[in-house]
Amino acid sequence: MAVHIIPEHLYDLIPSRLTVAFSLTCLVFITVGSALFRRYKFMQECNKVPGPPVQIPLLGSFTDLFVDPDQLIPHFMNLYHKWSKRSPVLRVWMGPLPWFFLGAAESAEVVLSSNKIIDKSREYDFIQPWLATGLLTSTGSKWHQRRKMLTPTFHFKILEDFVHVFNEQSKTLVEKLTTKVGQDFDIFPFITLCTLDVICETAMGRHVNAQSKSDSDYVKAVYNMSHIIQIRQIRPWLRPDWLFNLFPYASEQQKCLSILHGFTDQVIRERKIEHKLLKAQKETNAKAGVKEDEFVSKKRNLAFLDLLIEASQDGKVLSDLDIREEVDTFMFEGHDTTAAAINWSLFLLGNNPEKQEQVSEELIRVFGNSDRPVTMADLNELKYLECCVKEALRLYPSVPLLARQLMEDTTICGYNLPGGATVLAAPFLIHRDPTYFPEPDCFKPERFFPENIRGRHPYAYVPFSAGPRNCIGQKFALMEEKVILASVLRRFHVKALDKPEGLPTLAELILRPRDGIRVHLTEKKFT
């Protein structure tokens, strides 16, 4: 006998299959409809910003996605100038996602000066397997705390101790370049290996001798890893982890990571032991009333890592993994950027012999015919060289784009940009705005004379970004650049073999020349 769980008089209340199907269909229609409506409103809002029209729904301005890498900068410059005549913001649909390029000081200021818009965009995710969430990639309270903790490590007094490292590595560079005198060659790899040596020594206190042993596993891993990060940023099908893992890049990345992290882990372990020994020695000496001569000499060779170990308070404030992410971040941020900047300076001086002559005169004034190392006092004297370095960073900013994720709707120069969108402050556009830099394509170091800077919009020149998330290493970078450039230019006259007009450049993680920097060096004769 069937058992009736539901009383018969309630059967009428159970909806028929037809009613259920109808209700479900309505629900689907309402959900899809409201999603489409929200998307429509979102696109309508985005499309109020000038920019090329959507060519294929969901694929956006399709043709903008398939530009040759070396044409990316000229292409976006053309788009910006075409669409943004009266607006300092350009909208481009990168597939279904809107990107907003900020090409003027006024629009960049809104984002860069903000204490709220500090989240990096999705493009930075591919750096995280290597750097985890170090200073460059972290956000929120973690970033705030770390920034506060790390700022004193870039104090002028600490940077002063690194000048001898810059000198030593520049000396090796000059020796390597001497073998190339009289030949046409690409100077880019020479400079890059030099800055890699500098950052290994200053960040970790270790010599990797990249200039002498460019085939070391660590050096190769740095390059391969940077290449993989780059590839993932520009090839949409490599973005999702599950797809990336199907390609050989994934196993190559694993190999690189084990070398990179293995090396940093080992250095951290060794330096911590040295710290403990030194501390014990200090205590013993203090008890015995002995002077700390040895400690003082050790202190002279402090690397960023030592300062982090000190700040870690035996793991209470920073764990070994926390230390590793910061050291790796310095390694990543601190060598390619500086190398590109030095290379572009040499390229521009090599194209402007009269400016190079002015630098040479300044070098003679400061150093005479001597080949003594550069001192901190000399660096303050090298004023024209510094203007050249700044002007090179204006024309060829090492970091061509500064990308942020909007976490909420934000008004920029009258446009309401929706939360979730990516905004990109573009130094390569901002720096060539004729309002602030007349004849923007000309190399004119005089633009950075104190009297010419006065009154310029503070966001018109942002090679190191600006505002709360600006480059923590900018003083270090300028000092390093000046020591290396002074060392090269005291010894050689540089002639660039390519002209700036039409030179193919790649806007990768950094802005680099596609075919390197081809130069011809002549040794200077001293009287």
Instruction: Indicate whether 188 belongs to the interface with ligand HEM (CB under 6 A).
Output: no
Residue with smallest beta-carbon separation from ligand HEM: 473
CB-wise, 195 or 312, nearer to ligand HEM? 195
Angle subtended by helix axes 304-312 and 320-333, to nearest 10: 160
Q: Considering only residues 120-149, where is the footprint of ligand HEM by CB under 6 A?
A: 135-136, 147
Q: Considering only residues 296-325, where is the footprint of ligand HEM by CB under 6 A?
A: none
CB-wise, 100 or 330, nearer to ligand HEM? 330
Q: Is 471 within any annotated ligand binding site? A: yes
Contacts of 102 (CB under 8 A, 6+ apart): 88, 89, 108, 110, 111, 412, 423, 424, 425, 426, 430
Contact yes or no for 459/470 (Cβ under 8 A): no
Binding mask 372-401 for ligand HEM (x = CB under 6 A): --------------------------xx--
CB-wise, 147 or 255, nearer to ligand HEM? 147
Q: Considering only residues 146-165, where is the footprint of ligand HEM by CB under 6 A?
A: 147
Q: Considering only residues 12-51, where is the footprint of ligand HEM by CB under 6 A?
A: none
Contact yes or no for 493/461 (Cβ under 8 A): no
Residue from 51, 103, 129, 334 binding ligand HEM (CB under 6 A): 334
64 vs 87: CA distance, rounded Å: 20
Piece of the chain touching ligand HEM by CB under 6 A; list 170-178, 333-341, 439-447, 499-507: 333-341
Contact yes or no for 197/32 (Cβ under 8 A): no
Instruction: Indicate whether 341 belongs to the interface with ligand HEM (CB under 6 A).
Output: yes
DSSP assignment, residue 5? S
Minimum Å gap between C-beta 235 and ligand HEM is: 21
CB-wise, 264 or 398, nearer to ligand HEM? 398
Residue from 110, 402, 406, 479 binding ligand HEM (CB under 6 A): 402
Contact yes or no for 192/336 (Cβ under 8 A): yes
CB-wise, 150 or 520, nearer to ligand HEM? 150
Measure the N-to-C terminal CA separation of the chain; round to a whole number of Å.
Answer: 119
Query: What are the C-alpha distances in Å from 433 to residues 104, 395, 468?
Result: 7, 11, 24
Placement of tokens 């090396």 in the chain: 263
Backbone φ, ψ for residue 90 (5° rounding): -120, 135
**Partners of 522 in the β-ladder:** 493
Piece of the chain touching ligand HEM by CB under 6 A; list 155-163, 241-249, 287-295, 332-340: 332-340
Binding mask 442-471 for ligand HEM (x = CB under 6 A): ---------------------xxx---x-x
Query: SS3 of 56, please?
Result: strand
Query: What are the C-alpha distances in Å from 57 to residues 30, 32, 83, 494?
Result: 21, 16, 20, 51
CB-wise, 76 or 185, nearer to ligand HEM? 76
415-417 vs 410-412, strand pairing mode: antiparallel
Instruction: Indicate whether 346 belongs to the interface with ligand HEM (CB under 6 A).
Output: no
Q: How many residues bind ligand HEM (CB under 6 A)?
A: 22
Rule CB under 6 A: which residues touch ligand HEM? Answer: 135-136, 147, 329-330, 333-334, 337-338, 341, 398-399, 402, 463-465, 469, 471-473, 476-477
Binding-site residue numbers for heme are 471
